């Protein structure tokens, strides 16, 4: 699946990285400031030549991204003999290019210059696309966010399940990979997104934030310290 889709996207290029301010260990500037000191996450609709309306392909592209992200994330604990990481999917250094061009279409500044941050960049990019949809249609944004969060949960569950099938000799390596995938998901949602894009409609906004609070629970479990921190972060953004 990945190899055939890669060919269809091979001619697409991305712009200079908005994440150049991020360091390999995951530290960053405040949310919405990861492009440069004075720039924010600029959607397609904000470019001077674009009509001030929703991109006609945004909704379809979001659901395509969600569909592509599921095998990309869930296969990331399956072994591979062709990637430098020794695993498939997220983190293999190649297959993220199936998703990145669709994100770039709607957030033209997006690219990846820190190889270790594939998950963070892709997850953050898809989340921003959902924010942009909700900005124009609040309830459509809620439905897309619900689908996206459910996809993250299902993918991470499969990722952990696949890990149990591997040779026990790779246990520590696999556990570290699961940890990295999980933390990448949470970091991408919490810190590589621009909350100012979220709809100003009260009811959809509350629902979107409630869904985003669930992401840390998926990774760390209910009541964990990191879960509480993530919940507090989104509560502070209401």
pLDDT in tens, 86-134: 667 787 778 888 899 999 999 988 877 776 788 999 999 999 999 999 9
C-alpha span between 136 and 134 (Å, rounded): 5
Mean pLDDT of 200-214: 96
Is the pLDDT at 66 greater than 80, yes or no?
Answer: yes
12-18: list long-range contacts, CB under 8 Å, 24+ apart. Answer: 12/101, 12/104, 14/100, 14/101, 14/104, 14/110, 14/111, 14/112, 15/104, 15/108, 15/109, 15/110, 15/111, 16/109, 16/111, 17/109, 17/110, 17/111, 17/112, 17/113, 18/107, 18/109, 18/110, 18/111
Mean pLDDT of 162-185: 81
């Amino acid at each position: 699946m990945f190899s055939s889709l890669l060919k269809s996207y091979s001619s697409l290029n991305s712009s200079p990285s908005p994440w150049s301010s991020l360091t390999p260990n995951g530290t960053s500037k405040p949310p919405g400031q990861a492009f440069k000191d004075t720039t924010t996450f600029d959607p397609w609709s904000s470019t001077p030549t674009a009509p001030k309306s929703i991109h006609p392909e945004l909704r379809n592209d979001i659901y395509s991204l969600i569909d592509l992200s599921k095998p990309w994330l869930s296969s990331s604990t399956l072994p591979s003999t062709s990637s430098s990481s020794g695993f498939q999917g997220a983190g293999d250094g190649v297959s993220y290019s199936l998703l990145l061009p669709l994100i770039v279409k709607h957030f033209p500044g997006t690219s990846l210059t820190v190889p270790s941050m594939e998950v963070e960049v892709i997850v953050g990019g898809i989340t921003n696309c959902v924010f942009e949809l909700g900005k124009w249609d609040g309830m459509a944004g809620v439905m897309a966010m619900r689908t996206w969060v459910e996809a993250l949960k299902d993918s991470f569950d499969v990722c952990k399940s696949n890990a149990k099938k591997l040779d026990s000799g790779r246990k520590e390596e696999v556990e570290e990979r699961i940890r990295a995938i999980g933390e990448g998901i949470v970091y991408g949602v919490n810190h590589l997104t621009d909350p100012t894009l979220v709809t100003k409609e009260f009811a959809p906004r509350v629902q979107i934030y409630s869904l985003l609070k669930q992401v840390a629970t998926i990774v760390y479990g209910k009541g964990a310290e990191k879960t509480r921190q993530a919940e507090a972060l989104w509560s502070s953004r209401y």
